[in-house]
Structure 1
Amino acid sequence: MSLTSDEVNFLVYRYLLEAGFTHAAFVFGAESNVAKSGISGKEVPVGALVSFVQKGFQYMELEANLNEEGTDVYGEYTPLSARDILVKDIEELKVTVRDMKEAAQAEQQDFMAAGPREIAEAAVRRLAGHGAEVISLTWCPNSNLLASASSDGTARIWDLEETGSSGSGRVCVCRHAPQGGAASAELTCVEWAPDGQLLATGATDNAVRLFSREGVLRSTLQGHRGMIMAVRWNKKGDLLLSGAMDGTLVVWDAKAGAQSKQYAHHASSVVDADWRNNTTFASCSQDGSIAICKLSDPKPQRHWQSAHSADINSLRWEPSGKLLASCSDDGTVKIWQATAERPLHTLAGHVGPVTAVRWGQSGSGKSHLASCGEDGSVRVWDAEAGACVHEFSEHDTAVSIIAWSPDARYLASGDASGRLLVWSLRAGGVVRSLQAPSTIYDLRFNADSTLLACCTSEARPILVADLKRQS
């Protein structure tokens, strides 16, 4: 069924008459030749145009609420505003409905909205065992196995399903025998494979190692001539990328335990690296450059030689791979596109070095970019618009690390004094806080956001906070 232009014109003409706009109705009727349309006014009910518009709105609202198969309403029926229906197409309305449903669900399930802000002592587990400072932490993607990397030459895998509040439970110790004549093998980084079956570590003896989830050494990967600075799995989990102080990056075949590719385009130490997808990655260096490499090409696809005017501290791809974020001691955050020679945005606001950038992605697919700096602030940006949408400033000292919860509802930050804060974007403030003994080196949420682990600059126990526990 469709309306002809004559029928639409007649409905508008009748609406103007019914609304009392007699002169406007006369002019419109004359210009649109309403008298020649052949439509009998007696057959058209009063308020016909308004009725048509209302029914159209209801149809659009219903269509936006349907599930992917179009067979039923998706969850609770969500009413839309007339303005949304007027200015958005059906796909945009579906996104609006999903966002509204998620917001309503988050409000109902936000276990951190209620309860004490300060995390109770009884809600904190202490995992003791390392003989030196713990540098890095990572949660297994599909279980509550927490891996830690320490300067004592070991990684440890803690089973938090079995670990009680006293910190006791099953622990696997992954020992690192120094390679290549090195005096020691102090760990610098650690990361689980996406399927949770392998754990990768990097160390000061220039070697990368792969362990099983039971702590059994599977491979020792040698190819760098400098301390390992970063290890990153691709999304598929078949390739491992490592970056080192010698300026090289190596792509390893995890199954074969062998080198696949090597890149040496940086003039100084690699600081950070991140996969865009299964075959493309980005890296940054102390030389101020950022490069994007594709495995099929021996040379970088894009190489920004002077990406920042000072040391780069961190870079991360937005989950869709559309945007790349970097931060630097020059006080800026920059947003890059792989196809452009210049940054899309240079985000200013921090005073002094920016120490980290991290992306979070909500269930609707919307991405948020967070940054932290030595000025004690934490900022959340609209990366596409290039605007700061939240500024959190409750830290009194430099913020060293930030981490999103997997659903991007919460953002955790840790500072040089050992203060840990959990922020809620919906609430716009702090919902949990904890005082650790010294500078927080790393912090991570587990898969369901109920546990938050942190490690510090002293040889103290790892702290694991139960965020749901009220006392």
Structure 2
Amino acid sequence: MNHVALSSDQVNYLIYRYLKESSFEHSAWVFNEESKANQLGFKETDIRTGELIRIIQEGLQLRDLAIHARPEGRTIDCHVPVQLIGVHQCDAPSTPSHSTEENMLINDNENERIDPRSSPEEESTKANDVEARLEVMDQEVNIIERERKRDSQNIDARQRDQINELKNNQNDNNDDMEIDIPTSSPSPLYGPPAGTLGPTKKSSSDRASMANPVVYKLESSNHLLLKVPGEELVSFSWKPKEDVLATGGQDGILRIWNIPEPSEKLQEPKKIEYPPWLNTQTAFITWLDWHPIQDDLIACSYFNGLSTVYKINSGLLHRKLEEHRESTLKIKWSPKGLRALTASCDKNVICWNRDGHAMRFAEMHKDTVTDVAWKDDKIFASCSNDKKIFLWDYKMRDKPIMEFAGHDDEVFSIKWDPTKNYLASCSKDGKCKIWSEGHQNPLQTLQAKDGPITCAEWHPKSNDSETLLLTTSQNSGVVRIWSALEGICLHDFSPSKSHINAIEFCSNGLYFATGSADNLLHIIDAKSYKIRESHILGNDIMSIKWNYNCTKIAATLHNGTIYIIKAFLTD
């Protein structure tokens, strides 16, 4: 028998790789800081993309076999997929599947059984045979049920022992502490966060609606929580000129939500499912982008390396983009929507025209391409974990027109200023650099003493005749306003005491919002730098986006839920 060698180092490295491949850059960085996963001596080339998902899938297949296989070689013919979480319930435990030879015999017997010319003695004999087979099946089902109940009782006993031990330990430290005891059968829905008015459990009569999204209206009239049971909503994008939000998650389904006003009721979202003829094993959505002009089109990138363009009104697949060999992290339309860019873990950048034709650029990057940014409909930039940034002309695919090198670690985001003359880059080295076409070296390097810069955002109304303003945040919770070309910090303040994961200006430039790891979303006046509003959400805030008219903010949390904040509701 082969021995299995499993260590925590291997598990940590696979988790680290999964977070990076899923574009959870902040989570990957924090996890690596604590686990030192990239210092464990493993080579990225030795591990395939999606290895953690593949191992889990193989484990689920073994669990499926263990649940449904019988000692005599038969298997239970169950159509309910085995889940990673929850107790498996077979939909047809009384109809075990048979081998090919057995099926042939059964079909022959059935043909004989319906012969109207059979004698009463033959019919009686056949009836006895049928009853005997049914009796055997019933015995098999009883054995299965007893084994399931025994396993469930063993699990419940272990849970009770663990809970009692936890209670005893907690009582020794704090007699007033309350312990939540899990039920033997987990609830099919996530419980709402603190302050919600929705129920925490669903009865058996509600199970038919488990696939529908759950919407919790919070006690605050300007909070709305979007949630899909059992799935995480990871990516989202506002429609350019409407209060319509597109969300995508781990189930690979694109959902289109019409976000109502406070006095209106939220309707069920329109669902566009991943095409069944494509590989669905790792088809969760990594990025969404509405077409800037033809707002009936939306582009999606997937973890399995594919990208798609859907027509929202009809719900039909418009284009299938399948040139990448590994996970596609982002897809972005050009300003006029003439082309789209995809960034991938396969180190490639691909430009797609409107008919879906792929223009593959020279493989200059030596590691995962983490971000792409259009300057206009012809020129764009790409950045990578290889610490470099390239500037490309879509007509020149053999080599980039510029190479920017100066960061000491992975570059995870790049953004053009409103004039499209300057490019800001943020890196894992904690620095933000300002680049310009025609200059090999950075014009400025922005760095703070109280912690590395984690994200940066240009003021949308800056122009060449005024000071180009850039807002940055540190993992210490400090926000700074810079005169970017001078490298001078004009103002700094601390809206949060924890890591700030996101900064986003509204389109009119009057306000910007920050989202942090301490669950706080602040709306800040862009002139006075005073906090206009504060919202406490249920988990770490990972990303935020304003709608088209600056009245609502969508925020994704670390637990996969999405909040809709109705800003300035008291005005």
Is 2:284 the counterpart of 1:183? Answer: no
Is 2:392 the counterpart of 1:293? Answer: yes
Q: What do residues 297-341 of structure 1 show as CA deviations (whole Å, max 9, x unaligned)?
A: 12101112x331012121101122110000112121100011101
2:339 aligns with 239
Q: CA deviation at 1:382?
A: 1.2
CA contact (8 A) 2:419 2:463 kept: no
Which region of structure 1 is more displaced relative to structure 2, 223-232 or 256-265?
Answer: 256-265
2:29 aligns with none
Count of residue correspondences:
349
Summarize the Cα distance change of 1:271–1:364 in structure 2 as closer, same or farther, 3 Å threshold: closer
Greater share of helix residues, 1 or 2?
2
Partners of 1:127 and 1:416 lie apart in 2 by: 20
Summarize the Cα distance change of 1:199–1:131 in structure 2 as closer, same or farther, 3 Å threshold: farther
Partners of 2:460 and 2:347 lie apart in 1 by: 31
* Counterpart residue type for residue 469 of structure 1: L
**Equivalent of 1:438 in 518, 539, 553:** 539
2:476 aligns with 375
**Equivalent of 1:121 in 208, 212, 220:** 220
2:551 aligns with 450
Summarize the Cα distance change of 1:402–1:179 in structure 2 as closer, same or farther, 3 Å threshold: farther
CA contact (8 A) 2:298 2:312 kept: yes
| Structural mapping, 1:230-269, within 5 Å | 230-254=330-354, 256-269=355-368
1:389 aligns with 490
CA contact (8 A) 1:406 1:447 kept: yes
* Counterpart residue type for residue 436 of structure 2: Q
1:357 aligns with 456
What secondary structure does 2:376 align onto?
coil
Greater RCO, CA 8 A, separation 6+: 1
| Structural mapping, 1:32-431, within 5 Å | 121-129=220-228, 131-160=230-259, 162=260, 168-177=266-275, 181=279, 183-195=281-293, 196-214=295-313, 215-254=315-354, 256-298=355-397, 299-304=399-404, 306-349=405-448, 351-362=450-461, 367-431=468-532
Summarize the Cα distance change of 1:363–1:302 in structure 2 as closer, same or farther, 3 Å threshold: closer
Q: What do residues 39-96 of structure 1 show as CA deviations (whole Å, max 9, x unaligned)?
A: xxxxxxxxxxxxxxxxxxxxxxxxxxxxxxxxxxxxxxxxxxxxxxxxxxxxxxxxxx
Unaligned runs of 5+ in 1: 1-118
TM-score (norm 2): 0.58
Partners of 1:338 and 1:169 lie apart in 2 by: 47
Summarize the Cα distance change of 1:289–1:241 in structure 2 as closer, same or farther, 3 Å threshold: same
Partners of 1:130 and 1:403 lie apart in 2 by: 28
Partners of 1:212 and 1:136 lie apart in 2 by: 18
Partners of 2:276 and 2:381 lie apart in 1 by: 29
Q: CA deviation at 1:191?
A: 1.1
Summarize the Cα distance change of 1:445–1:181 in structure 2 as closer, same or farther, 3 Å threshold: closer
Q: CA deviation at 1:155?
A: 2.3
CA contact (8 A) 1:419 1:435 kept: yes
Partners of 2:475 and 2:277 lie apart in 1 by: 36
CA contact (8 A) 2:298 2:310 kept: yes
Partners of 2:493 and 2:326 lie apart in 1 by: 37
Summarize the Cα distance change of 1:130–1:172 in structure 2 as closer, same or farther, 3 Å threshold: farther
Summarize the Cα distance change of 1:282–1:451 in structure 2 as closer, same or farther, 3 Å threshold: same
Greater share of strand residues, 1 or 2?
1
Partners of 2:440 and 2:480 lie apart in 1 by: 26
CA RMSD of aligned residues (A): 2.3
* Counterpart residue type for residue 468 of structure 1: F
Which region of structure 1 is more displaced relative to structure 2, 316-325 or 354-363?
Answer: 354-363
Which region of structure 1 is more displaced relative to structure 2, 259-268 or 419-428?
Answer: 259-268
CA contact (8 A) 1:123 1:467 kept: yes
Summarize the Cα distance change of 1:336–1:211 in structure 2 as closer, same or farther, 3 Å threshold: same
Q: CA deviation at 1:415?
A: 1.1
Q: CA deviation at 1:286?
A: 0.4
Matched-pair identity in %:
26
CA contact (8 A) 1:179 1:185 kept: no
Unaligned runs of 5+ in 2: 1-217
Q: CA deviation at 1:221?
A: 0.7
1:92 aligns with none
Runs of 4 or more above 6 Å deviation: none
